[in-house]
Amino acid sequence: MTSDDLIEEVEEIETIIPRALVVLAEGAEESEAVIIVDLLRRGGIETVLAGLNGDGPVLLSRKVRVLPDAALATAVGDFNILILPGGAEGARRLATSELVGERLKTFSDEGRLVGAICAAPLAFPAHQVFAGRAMTCHPSVASRIAMYGKLDQRSPVVEDGNLITSQGPGTSFLFALTIVRRVMGETRAAEVERGLVLPR
């Protein structure tokens, strides 16, 4: 291999853009889904919003309709990150979906990054992934999560290896920034955060 070939290979590696798959179920929490997609895209992560039941408009928890980019069943290509927004009804649908279970098991087995917020960690016991791992969730489902994982309600975002969890709509910004930081680095995450003008 010549030095020119090596430089070309390094440049090709550097231009690979991480990809995130965000699963959107009916009854999901609007603010979580939109904030997560917004911040990941600001951070330079190619983000596909995938409808659990197809590519048509999805009715969310506060009756806002959101049009996904694709159907989960047909979302193709390699994804580095799988993210589950919460919302009580959305979480119930994630927990009962075979498609979600298949994706979760693949990501868990391969050590790829998985994020879940609010009530969405209920999908973990339902699909038998991440048992015994440190995680957080919305207070309304904390007792159920405590029976499956190591519940930590002291932190708005909890990281345990390839698992990132968070508590609810109000922690969506911190959750998404944590993912950007893990995938794109501190400098990019700080740039995104500055542009948000978050209160101190």
- H or E segment to which residue 140 belongs: none
Q: Point out the catalytic residue in the list 75, 84, 95, 118.
A: 118
The whole-chain average pLDDT of the chain stands at 94
Taken in order 134, 139, 145, 150, the sign of the CA dihedral is positive
User: What DSSP string describes 110-124?
Assistant: HT-EEEEETTGGGHH
**67 φ, ψ to 5°?**
-95, 115
Under DSSP, is residue 72 helix (H, G, I), strand (E, B) or coil? Answer: helix
- Of all residues in the chain, the percent with pLDDT exceeding 90 is 90
User: Tens of pLDDT along 32-61?
Assistant: 999 999 999 999 999 999 999 999 999 999
β-pair partners for 48:
21
How far is residue 161's CA from residue 94's CA, in Å, rounded to a whole number?
A: 22
Angle at 163 between CA 98 and CA 169, to 5 degrees: 85
Strand order of the β-sheet with 19-24 is 70-71, 46-51, 19-24, 81-84, 113-117, 163-166, 157-160
**pLDDT for 200:** 81
When pLDDT is cut at 50, 70 and 90, the band that residue 123 belongs to is: very high
- Judge whether 27 and 94 are in contact, CB under 8 Å: no
What is the mean predicted confidence (pLDDT) over 144-172?
Answer: 98
- 63 pLDDT exceeds 60? yes
How far apart (Å, rounded) are the C-alpha atoms in residues 5 and 131? Answer: 45
Q: Is 198 exposed, middle or buried (0-12, 13-18, 19+ CB in 10 A)?
A: exposed
133 token code pair: 């791992």
189: helix, strand or coil: helix
Q: How many residues does the chain have?
A: 200
Upper half-sphere CA count for residue 159 (Cβ side, 13 Å): 11
Give yes or no: 118 in active site: yes
Indicate the pLDDT class of residue 16, thresholds 50, 70 and 90.
confident
Residue whose tokens read 């990054």: 113
Handedness of CA 23, 28, 31, 32 (dihedral sign): negative
